[in-house]
Amino acid sequence: EKGGYEHFMLKEIFEQPRSILDSMRGRLELVAGHLNMGGIRAYERKFMNAERIIIVACGTSWHAGLVAEYLLEDLARIPVEVEYASEFRYRNPVITERDIVIAISQSGETADTLAAIELAKSKGATIFGICNVVGSSIARATDAGAYTHAGPEIGVASTKAFTAQVTVLTILAMIVGHKRGTLSDTRLRELMVELGSIPAKVEKALLLNDEIEAIAQTFKDVPNFLYLGRGYNFPVALEGALKLKEISYIHAEGYPAAEMKHGPIALIDENMPVVVIATKDSSYEKVVSNIQEVKARKGRIIAVVTEGDDVIPQMAEFVIEVPATSEVLVPLVSVVPLQLLSYHIAVLRGCNVDQPRNLAKSVTVE
């Protein structure tokens, strides 16, 4: 049932071209030139007039929520707050019937996310769900929603569910942005075409597997890792660090690259591997400076760059080249090598990657 793969996690990482495509199916209609999302149709007005959106989720789903914050603010110009469900529900948050709450959950059974939904519902907010498991508690508790079509995810560490969530949230942001007039016809069209090419780009990123395994060999025994990214790659840095810590038990932290100088830079010395996600986008030049800062302190740089980058390879110890895409879609591609890196490090350390210690696939306790 692992389809020839050694672990479910690896199988699921490799399924992503397909699961991303499945999550677009019926929604991205390139030939007809439009986007559909059944779940929001009845709430179009609500989204058009939304003054803010609150996203609630936990763990990896919370990281997908952070990507959605960038997307919805960027494309639809709606202010977004991304909340850990567990904090939101216990802190007397301000919620009104004008709010739209988006709950993101792979399992649809996460207790804290479910409780956050119930709280927001009791205040009259409209609840929109993004779930993978059909008929799950969260899917049933929401007013409307859109399923991710990642298929069953068995590995405890979430991989294909994350990219499926980001895919659905991207389409949502594009639809809402277009309806609100903040995303022009031309830009919408460009993004649609680019989104359609993502499965092939993810496929290409998966060809890096052997190269990444060799990098994993170099770093498998280190005690710490730092992950840095800016803009759309900041949530990817967080996700890369989470993947590593949960399956390899190596301590890892994700940071927005510019925050480094406010503290974490003190950690950098010749023993500290620093994964920098440095694709060619609007923060590229700034990330290059951040790499210089790490290098000046002898940190060991592993950089995820856009194919053809000829600057960073001269600075980094290891370079992982991913296909170029639009800045707003980059997490779908840049997260893939980080999933593979944590997978290989964990395997080389002899860890049980599909069932890491102390973790459960769905967290039904508070």
Q: Which residues are known to be catalytic?
A: 361
- Minimum distance, C-beta of residue 300 to ligand F6R, in the bound complex (Å): 25
d(CA 366, CA 363): 8
Rounded to the nearest whole angstrom, what is the least distance from the CB of residue 54 to ligand F6R in the complex?
16
Nearer to ligand F6R, 65 or 256 (CB): 65
360/339 Cα distance (integer angstroms): 19
Q: 239: buried, middle or exposed (CB in 10 Å: 19+, 13-18, 0-12)?
A: buried
Amino acid identity for residue 72 in this structure: L
Angle, CA of 323, 329 and 333, to the nearest 5°: 40
Closest residue by beta carbon to ligand F6R: 59
Q: Across-strand partners of 269?
A: none
Contacting positions for ligand F6R (CB under 6 A): 58-61, 105-107, 110, 113, 157-158, 242, 246, 362-363
Q: With respect to ligand F6R, which residue has the nearer C-beta, 246 or 309?
A: 246
Minimum distance between the CB of residue 171 and ligand F6R, rounded to whole angstroms? 19
Q: Name which of 116 and 294 has its Cβ closer to ligand F6R.
A: 116
Could you say which DSSP state residue 208 is in?
Answer: T
Q: Tokens 């060991």 correspond to what residue?
A: 300
Q: Which two tokens stand for residue 89?
A: 């529900």
Q: Report the length, in residues, of the chain.
A: 366
Q: State both tokens at 318.
A: 């290891």
CB 56, min distance to ligand F6R, A: 10
Q: Which is nearer to ligand F6R, 215 or 242 (CB)?
A: 242
CA 22 to each of CA 62, 63, 168, 337: distance values in angstroms, whole numbers, following the listed order = 22, 21, 10, 21
Residue 141 Cβ, how far from ligand F6R at the closest point, in Å? 13
Inter-residue contact 254 to 281 (CB < 8 Å): no
Distance CA 12, CA 339 (A): 10
Least Cβ distance, residue 365 to ligand F6R (angstroms): 11
Tokens standing for 300?
């060991």
274: DSSP letter: E
Task: Identify which of residues 58 and 272 has a Cβ nearer to ligand F6R in the complex.
Answer: 58
Instruction: Collapse the DSSP code of 36 into the 3-class scheme (helix H, G, I; strand E, B; otherwise coil) and give the result.
Output: coil
Minimum separation from the CB atom of position 1 to ligand F6R (A) = 20
The number of helices, as runs of H, and strands, as runs of E, in the chain is 15, 12
Q: How many CB atoms lie within 10 A of CB 256?
A: 18
- Work out the end-to-end distance of the chain between its first and last CA atoms, rounded to an integer number of angstroms: 32
Closer to ligand F6R by CB, 42 or 359: give it: 359
Largest CA distance in the chain: 56
Q: CB-wise, 315 or 363, nearer to ligand F6R?
A: 363
Element of type H or E holding 55: strand 53-57
